[in-house]
Amino acid sequence: MPLTEPVPDIRSLDLLHSVAETGSIRQAALQHRISQPAASMRLRTLEKALGLQLLDRSHGRAQLTSSGVAVVQWSEEVLEPMRELLLGARALNTDAATRLRVVASLTVAEYLVPGWLARLRDSDPTLMVSLQMGNSTHVTEVVLRGEADVGFVEGRSAPSELASRVMLSDDLVVVAAPSSPLAKRKRPLTPTELSTVPLVMREAGSGTREVFEVAMKSLKLSVTPLVQLGSTTAIKAAVASGVGAGVLSRLAVESDVLEGRLVVVRIEGLSLERSIRLVWAKGTPLTPAAKRLVRQVENSSDARR
């Protein structure tokens, strides 16, 4: 049934409890960090709301009346759940500040997130971080389900279901084994020539594959991969062994190119630029820990815009 008016203020009930415990309005006021006149006013307002005299003030020292004793006992059934609610809320706030759940697309998870998280832990050793990884479609689904505080996806556009923010830029490159005829070409490949090359690519739903397919489609060209693999590491191994050419993030192949395991094949007339975005649930503010991660990414030397 609905509450009848007027409804007593819960803070005033809590104050009455303190008067019962300390035997003094002045001591109760000190506990609640308010002045004694303010405490007296609250208690009189409480008496008016309940229609009862709760305190006997006739002897210069406030004493609970029989009605006051009864109200203190009954109100414990209200105050204890409220204390639990407030303690729980504080615990959740503390958890939000010291825990961070991240989900990232494979390229970002393998080549960028470890450095970001290492610097984040250096600045805040108490932070507990969990990391999931998958393709960009998986990242979107995990964030939408509320199973991660933030996600990182690759692509030219942001998932419409989520709030997003561009964190850094990247581009895709075509790579081949040093022994491949493609690595020995003197002139760049055209997109049409590239469409006939046996390719080792990521699975459907990958941001890397989406960027490449959209770029080729804009030139009215289609691509049918020779092999589909679920990780960047597997693709690099397959390409290095001569299975075919690969389409991968420049970030992911930098060390392999520098050390001679792979060669970048020049392509003319094909734009493969993309953005790496932070994503989170719409209408939900970033948690304190997520904000600290964003600052680390922004300050990182990896964030090459």
Tokens of 191: 């997109």
pLDDT of residue 80: 83
Largest Cα span, the chain: 105
Bridge-based pairing state of the strands 55-56 and 162-176:
unpaired
Domains recognised in the chain with CATH numbers? 10-96 (1.10.10.10), 99-299 (3.40.190.290)
The pLDDT assigned to 136 comes to: 86
Kindly state the helix (H) or strand (E) to which residue 248 belongs, with its residue range: strand 245-249
Query: Distance between CA 120 and CA 143 in Å, rounded?
Result: 21
Q: Which two tokens stand for residue 164?
A: 């997003």
The pLDDT value given to residue 21: 84
Distance CA 298, CA 168 (A): 8
Question: Strand 227-229 relative to strand 199-202: parallel, antiparallel, unpaired?
Answer: parallel
Q: How many helices (H) and strands (E) does the chain have?
A: 12, 11
Q: Are 187 and 172 in contact (CB under 8 A)?
A: no
| pTM reported for the whole predicted model | 0.62
Q: Give start and end residues of each alpha helix (H) in 124-190.
A: 136-144
- In whole angstroms, what is the distance from residue 97 CA to residue 86 CA? 17
Please answer whether residues 24 and 61 qualify as being in contact, where contact means their C-beta atoms are separated by less than 8 angstroms. yes
pLDDT of residue 93: 60
pLDDT score, position 302: 47
Per-residue pLDDT 10s for the chain (305 aa) are 566 777 888 899 999 988 888 888 988 888 888 998 998 999 999 999 899 999 988 776 778 899 988 888 888 888 888 877 775 565 556 566 678 999 999 888 888 888 888 888 888 888 888 899 888 889 999 999 999 999 999 877 778 889 999 998 888 999 999 999 999 898 999 999 999 999 999 888 888 888 899 999 999 998 888 999 988 889 999 999 999 999 999 988 999 999 999 999 999 999 898 889 999 998 888 888 899 999 888 887 544 54
